C-alpha cells in the first residue's frame, strides 16, 4: 500500500512487506471484529505495521 493505492494478489511475491495466513473465519474476525491477529489465529510474518495499515482500511466505525 502506497500513494499509488493497494494491490492484492494471490500468489508468490519475491519480497512482500508482510505475509498473512488465515482461514476466512479468522481473517474476518481481524477485519470486522477488531480481533488481534494472534488472538484470532492469524499467522503474520514481516512488517506488522503493513498489516495494521491494511486492517485499518476495513474499520467498521459507524
According to the model, what pLDDT value does residue 22 have?
A: 96
Q: Which long-range contacts (CB under 8 A, 24 or more apart) does 31-40 make?
A: 31/55, 31/58, 32/58, 32/60, 34/60
Q: Where are the domains of the chain?
A: 18-56
How many Cα neighbours within 13 Å face the side chain of 8?
5
pTM of this prediction?
0.74
CA count, 13 A, side-chain hemisphere, 28: 3
Query: What pLDDT digit, counting tens, does each position of 15-59 carry?
Result: 888 999 999 999 999 999 989 999 999 999 999 999 998 898 887
Report the alpha-carbon angle 16-19-22, nearest 5. 155
Amino acid at each position: 500500500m502506497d500513494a499509488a493505492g493497494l494491490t492484492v494478489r494471490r500468489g508468490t511475491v519475491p519480497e512482500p512487506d508482510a505475509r498473512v495466513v488465515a482461514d476466512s473465519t479468522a481473517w474476518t474476525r481481524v477485519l470486522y471484529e477488531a480481533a488481534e491477529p494472534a488472538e484470532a489465529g492469524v499467522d503474520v510474518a514481516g512488517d506488522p505495521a503493513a498489516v495494521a495499515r491494511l486492517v485499518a482500511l476495513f474499520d467498521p466505525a459507524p
